[in-house]
Structure 1
């Protein structure tokens, strides 16, 4: 795609495509997510999207300047999906834990998209809503503004980093993923205590634990540290 974006008021296609659908930004993003899940990053091309939508590829310029613009919309949609089902209970730690786990689950639901977009800043409606929401939770809990931003930054970057890490693993072909998990059993669990006493002592736990994401544990540690900092500030 190139820099040909049509103004928002003129974007809506008035006639159905040859496949009988009316194009919209939401439909294009949904189709892009499906293609990424089925074919990986190489699927994110104008030609493939046009073919999947039954539309002339040039019609996509009515909605997105280029594929990077579309990628930002995909990233924003993943954020929006996490927010839509989140319902705060009023306990700031519980609320942020729930939201963080939803963000992580959203990345695993669309691993190819998460790997491509986790490090982007969209500046779009859902991201803006997320920033406002998380800062509101933290300021409502009593964090001073500077501390609220520091905790917000750590919380969001942790969720995105683990989302990208675990999504990258989930996006691997199954044999490669199984081989990675098997290394803990085939290699680490067999190291002798004479040369690697700490690995040998914890081998059973390593085999069991390393097959799971560390995100829930890391999230709990972050929130506990934030709570300790809040207690110190408000003492």
Structure 2
């Protein structure tokens, strides 16, 4: 897509496309998400999207100015899908743990889209809702504003980074994933103790652990550190 702006009032198309559907921003985003998972970033072309929608490619400009505009909408939709099933309970640590795990699962459900969008800032409704919600959880827990922002930043970046990292692994062909898992079993598990004593001592744990994501453990470490920080603040110490 190119830089071509259509006034908002003129964006809605009411006539059905060739496939009998009425275009909407939501339909275009859903279709783009499906195509990205099938074809990667190459799916974000007006020609391919128009063909999938049974619509004239130029009609997409009624909803999105260019492909980056669409990419931001996709990123915001992924955030929205996570928020729709997250309900804070008042237990800040449990609430953030649940949200982090849902963010990670959402990335793995759309791995190629997650890799393309994890680093983007959308400034759109769902992202704004997420920022407001997470900072609200932290402020209500008793974190001072600077600490709330610091922990928010670390929490979100950690979730997005692990989502992108693990999505990249998920997007690999199955044979490649299996070959990498075998490296831990066939190489690391057989390194001699006289040359690699620490690997040899922990080999069985490495083989068992390295096949799965470390995000749950990393998330727990972050939340434990945040709890410790909050305890220090409540006690009037700074450590």
Which TM-score applies when normalising by structure 1?
Answer: 0.98
Deviations 1:169-196 (A, max 9, x none): 1111111111111111111011011100
> Does 2:34 align with 1:34?
yes
> Does 2:102 align with 1:102?
yes
What does residue 91 of structure 1 align with?
A: 91
| Divergent runs of 4+, >6 A | none
Q: Please say if residues 82 and 106 of structure 1, whose CA atoms lie closer than 8 Å, have aligned partners that are also in contact.
A: yes
Consecutive unaligned residues in structure 2, runs of 5 or more = none
> Does 2:217 align with 1:217?
yes
1:112-191 equivalences in 2 (<5 Å): 112-191=112-191
Deviations 1:125-145 (A, max 9, x none): 000000000000000000000
What does residue 52 of structure 2 align with?
A: 52
Consecutive unaligned residues in structure 1, runs of 5 or more = none
What's the CA shift for 1:79? 0.4
What does residue 196 of structure 2 align with?
A: 196
d(CA) in 2 for partners of 1:7 and 1:135?
Answer: 34
d(CA) in 2 for partners of 1:46 and 1:74?
Answer: 15
Q: Please say if residues 5 and 63 of structure 1, whose CA atoms lie closer than 8 Å, have aligned partners that are also in contact.
A: no
What does residue 232 of structure 1 align with?
A: 232
Q: Please say if residues 4 and 62 of structure 1, whose CA atoms lie closer than 8 Å, have aligned partners that are also in contact.
A: no
After TM superposition, the structure 1 stretch with the greater mean CA deviation from structure 2, 21-30 or 33-42, is: 33-42
What does residue 14 of structure 1 align with?
A: 14
Which TM-score applies when normalising by structure 2?
Answer: 0.97
What does residue 76 of structure 1 align with?
A: 76
Deviations 1:36-91 (A, max 9, x none): 11122222211111000000111111111111111110100000001000111210
What's the CA shift for 1:28? 0.4
